[in-house]
Structure formats: structure tokens, C-alpha cells
Amino acid sequence: MKRIGVLTSGGDSPGMNAAVRAVVRKAIHDGIEVYGIYGGYTGLIHGNIEKLELGSVGDIIHRGGTILYSARCEEFKTEEGRQKGIENLKAHQIEGLVVIGGDGSYRGALALTEAGFPCVGVPGTIDNDIAGTQYTIGFDTALNTVIDAIDKIRDTASSHERTFIIEVMGRDAGDIALWAGLAGGAETILIPEVNYDIDEIATKLKSGLDRGKRHSIIIVAEGVCSGIEFAKQVESATSLETRVSVLGHIQRGGSPTAFDRVLASRLGAHAVELLAKEKGGQAVGLNNNQVVANSLRDVLSQHNRLDLDLYELSRELSI
């Protein structure tokens, strides 16, 4: 392969830039030209394609967001839309594509591969919800953003004897809530994968107060219910005064952590290696600190399972 493309798609995540940089630098190092597709699959359909040089990705390793921009594109879910994309790629003599994004973006990459255009997926999402990799690019950064917020909220919570409910991202996956709750010492963690019992939570909050705790912190993944909704449930079950913080999009931004930069560098470079060997239809990942590749089809057919041992540990440590 002499010329490849790279795009970022779906929800952005910190570290996407470091992945783009790795793709560009590794490809050029190996004698392959790289073209950037601006604006995800929308940009692909509209032909927003430009050559990237070594300098195009200078000074971006530490920046959140994505210099290639991202988008959600309904048209790409149609065969016609994808055909337009393939025509634009061929018009630029691009022979393979690196897609950095979440599972929706992977579906697009698989559809392109099945239409005869080889793609490799790189897991870029804060949700950590992609099978075939223990970590996705951006998860660690988002986690640290949430922990920073929890620590700050804890300061004010302890001054005022309050129960704080912090709503974090995670529609279907509880990884951010679970890891942040464990690392932030939360009393209770609500995740989409496990049902909760409001009476059990109320009893725990009261027994904490009885033994002299001045505050409690509850982490709620947005997929369970809104923080405000859960606060109402807590207030009616306990008559405790609650405060709610919805962290929202700050979880998507910020300079990527060292972990995410290294992960992005390793996975981006491996994606290029696979394309160079004409191994399309794969998704790269990290397993036991080894860079691995699995077929996009397998990755999409598996459900990424939350670490229930970690959930149990969080319960044991927050008695």
C-alpha cells in the first residue's frame, strides 16, 4: 500500500490527536503517504481530503479534541453514501483507511471493508466500551477529569454535611462511573449493568451518618437515570439534603494523560502496520499490555463486559 487515509468519527475523545499523529508519522516513516479526511464520514462523502505531512501533526500530541474534526453522518449508513465515500478515496488513489472512533464508527469501517475498501479501526472513545481492547483512547483522561471533580466536590461536601450526587457519562457502559467511583472513594456507584435498590442505598447512607460520616458521594452513570431524578429518590427515601453535579462535556475534553498518549501512539502505529500488510477489516487494541488485532466483525459482535470483580471490590471498600 502506497497511500492511506485517516479520519476521526463519532464522539471525540482526548488522545485522538495523538493517534492521528502516530498514523501519519508511522506511515511516512514506512514510506506510505497519508491523507486526512476532515469531518469523519461526512467529510469522506463530501471529499474533504487533504495530504498530511510530518509537520501537519506537529504540536498536537498534547491537545484534546481532533484536528481532523469529527461528525455523525446518517448518509453513511446507506450504501449510496458509502459508495460516494469510496469514489472519493479512489479519486485520491487512497488504498486503505484508518478509522479512529467508537463502535458506530467501526460499523462504518466494517461496511466499507465489506464493500471492498480495507479499513482498520482504532478505539477512540471515552466510554471504554469496545470489545477486543482493555482500554480505549480517552478513557484514562476522562477518568482523571472525573476524579479531579470528585475531589473538589468532596471538599465542599464535607464542609456542609451533604450528600452529593455526581452524574457522569456512560449511556450503556458503566466503566467511567465504576473506575471514577472506586478511585474517588464514592460511597455508592450506579451503573447501567447492575440494578440498584434504593432502600439498600438509603440504609447505607443512614448507617454512614450514624457512625459520624459528614458527607456521602454517589456516582451515577447517565444511562441509569439523571442525577436530578436520582436525588429525588434519595431525598424521599432518606430525607437527606442532596446536591447534584452533572459533569457533562468537560469529560470529553482536556489534554490527554500520558497513558492515553502512549496508547494512542502504539495503536495508531499498529493500524498502519496492518494496512501495509493489506490486513483490512481489523481493529487494534491493547490486551495484557500487548498490542493486538481482532476482526472488526468479532469486535462488533461481542459485548464489552464490565469488570464485575471491580464492582464487587468497590462495594466492599465503601461499607
Task: Tell me which residues touch ligand ADP (CB under 6 A).
Answer: 9-11, 41, 72-73, 76-77, 101-105, 107-108, 111, 125
Closer CB to ligand ADP, residue 103 or residue 193?
A: 103
Place of cell 485522538: 16
Compute the least distance from the CB of residue 275 to ligand ADP, in Å: 19
225 is in an annotated binding site: no
Closer CB to ligand ADP, residue 66 or residue 144?
A: 66
**Is 127 among the residues known to form the active site?**
yes
213 is in an annotated binding site: yes
Compute the least distance from the CB of residue 277 to ligand ADP, in Å: 25
Closer CB to ligand ADP, residue 132 or residue 181?
A: 132
Chain residue at closest Cβ approach to ligand ADP: 104
92 is in an annotated binding site: no
Closer CB to ligand ADP, residue 102 or residue 256?
A: 102
162 is in an annotated binding site: yes
Distances (CA, A) of 119 to 44, 225, 284: 13, 36, 11
Compute the least distance from the CB of residue 208 to ligand ADP, in Å: 37
Among the listed residues 12, 59, 127, 151, the single catalytic one is 127
Compute the least distance from the CB of residue 76 to ligand ADP, in Å: 4
277 is in an annotated binding site: no
Binding site per annotation, positions? 11, 21-25, 72-73, 102-105, 125-127, 154, 162, 169-171, 185-187, 211, 213-215, 222, 243, 249-252
Q: Which residues are annotated as a binding site for ADP?
A: 21-25, 154, 185-187, 211, 213-215
Known binding-site residues for ATP equal 11, 72-73, 102-105
> What is the set of active-site residues?
127
